[in-house]
Structure 1
Amino acid sequence: MSDTLSWATNVDTKAQVEHDRLTLLQEVFDPFSARLLDRVGVAAEWQCLEVGAGAGSVARMLADRAGAANVTATDMSIDFLEPLEATGIRVLHHDVTVDEPPGEFDLIHSRFVLEHVTGRDEALRRMASWLRPGGWLVVESATPTPELSSEPAVGRALSALARLMARLVGTDPVWARRLPVALEEAGLTDCDAEGHVVPARGGSPMARWLVATHRVIEEPALASGAVTADELAAAYAAYANPSFVDHTWLTIGALGRRPT
């Protein structure tokens, strides 16, 4: 997004390795996303917007519930979203921080987007203004907790990831912990939030996704001294060991409704 510092220079958004990372992300986090969508009761004919659609799984969930013709999927890189168009889903290259509203919606959802946007609170207010009266905004945001790691090398690697993403991209790794207050400040009502932790068991999709995410900033992390090669190797070994388990990635799911 244009309001980030340099996301596109750190991630090749068209590379197969990034598609593979997003596929793992979907496998790990889709069940929680589906539960949040069911909680607000997405129904047939709802106009739905997925902001930062990634590889498209949540847009497909929305299409299953509301009908494909009622779903808009946006991202700053839409190469992985092209297959959605064949299903009838509308796909747009769109920057939530500056572009014109893509419509009015009964449901707007984003996952792991706003923590990477330096103007995140303003972007959230913009999204809230695109809701129809009574419409729901559902935001999922991540906040790593390296201090809870059972393995020191994993904790240091995760801390380095958070620091480097803050410096290189503008990520705020603790913004999620303010939810749902940010939704209330955006003028929404009936706001609520819940936390969700997926255990990172060695060899699991969660552990493999964390390794893939670390590799996104591995080179600058090593170059800056934020983490050593030995520490990263130890962290990767732990993530591959079935006897290892960690609970260091907290996802906050928050929702709020535009007053009628």
Structure 2
Amino acid sequence: MSLNWTSYVDTDSSVEHDRLLLLQQLFDGDSEKLLERAGLAPGWRCLEVGAGAGSVARILADRAGATNVTATDLDTTLLAPLAESGVRVLRHDVTTDEAPGEFDLIHTRLVLEHVTQRDLALRRMVSWLAPGGVLVVEAAAPMPEMSSDPTVGRALAALSDQLRRSVGTDRTWARTLPVPLEQAGLVDCTAEGHIIPARGGSPFAHWMIETHRLVEQDVVSNGTLTAAELAHTFAAYTNRLSSTTRG
């Protein structure tokens, strides 16, 4: 059965809202720096693809002006406050729906690795850029092979494999950048990366626990991981003395 990411999350749930707040806490600082380096300025027409709970769209609105920002997602439940502030909010599928406009800057974070037709999505976003426009793509590449705890490594691999089989997630796609950007027609492309250790008790480890919980029933029921292995993984992510995995 073919699913998409929204099949695993309940945006009406406080648990999912809290998970997204953790994500924002972890990554908003880096996202803001990338947008600054891209030259984001007042008046720029901006598009946030896969806006989630809306934190990056709020950064765009603060810098470019709320009425210049469009925020899209497959589920816009958590984006109502943005609409009230003047941001244009659209329920939108980046692979199939009509172009939402022409933009000076398009940003997407932790989205394309979960999109089966990611090359198509990239080409479509490039076509929505105004001349001289900028596309900023942030993607994650979990590395279970680098885990200091073999059980945690197996759990991360199980999470990645479940998402690959059900959603089409490619946990290695981020490592191919910037080649996909160039193939989509962009020029002057660059890529950089950094490794984040999921130290036990850290916000990142907590986010990893909540992300694992999205698929825990599936990976246990299909035999990819045992309940005991999953419990061990959650304990390792909770233990402040642990350094368990990297992403």
User: Partner of 2:25: helix, strand, or coil?
Assistant: helix
Q: Is the 8 A contact 1:146 1:248 kept in 2?
A: yes
| Superposed displacement of residue 224, structure 1 | 0.8
In 2, the alpha carbon distance for the partners of 1:247 and 1:221 equals 19
In 1, the alpha carbon distance for the partners of 2:4 and 2:121 equals 18
Which residue number in structure 2 is paired with residue 80 of structure 1? 78
| Superposed displacement of residue 12, structure 1 | 2.1
Which residue number in structure 1 is paired with residue 97 of structure 2? 99
Identity of aligned residues (%): 62
| Superposed displacement of residue 177, structure 1 | 1.1
TM-score by length of 2: 0.97
- Among residues 27, 30, 33, which one is paired with 1:32 in the alignment? 30
Q: How does 1:1-260 map to 2 (within 5 A)?
A: 5-249=3-247
Q: Which has the higher contact order (CA 8 A, sep 6+)?
A: 1
In 1, the alpha carbon distance for the partners of 2:195 and 2:54 equals 22
In 1, the alpha carbon distance for the partners of 2:180 and 2:148 equals 31
In structure 2, give the amino acid aligned to 1:24.
L
In structure 1, give the amino acid aligned to 2:178.
P
User: Partner of 2:192: helix, strand, or coil?
Assistant: strand
User: Partner of 1:91: helix, strand, or coil?
Assistant: strand
Q: Unaligned stretches of 5+ in structure 2?
A: none
In 2, the alpha carbon distance for the partners of 1:6 and 1:193 equals 26
In structure 2, give the amino acid aligned to 1:171.
T
In 2, the alpha carbon distance for the partners of 1:68 and 1:197 equals 33
TM-score by length of 1: 0.92
In 1, the alpha carbon distance for the partners of 2:108 and 2:182 equals 17
Q: How many residues align?
A: 246
Q: Is the 8 A contact 2:46 2:69 kept in 1?
A: yes
Structure 1 runs, 4 residues or longer, greater than 4 Å off: none
In 1, the alpha carbon distance for the partners of 2:94 and 2:35 equals 21
In structure 2, give the amino acid aligned to 1:92.
L
In 1, the alpha carbon distance for the partners of 2:86 and 2:194 equals 32
| Superposed displacement of residue 8, structure 1 | 3.4
Q: Which has the higher strand share?
A: 1
In 2, the alpha carbon distance for the partners of 1:20 and 1:188 equals 35
Q: Is the 8 A contact 1:7 1:168 kept in 2?
A: no
Q: CA RMSD in A?
A: 1.1
Q: Is the 8 A contact 1:44 1:67 kept in 2?
A: yes
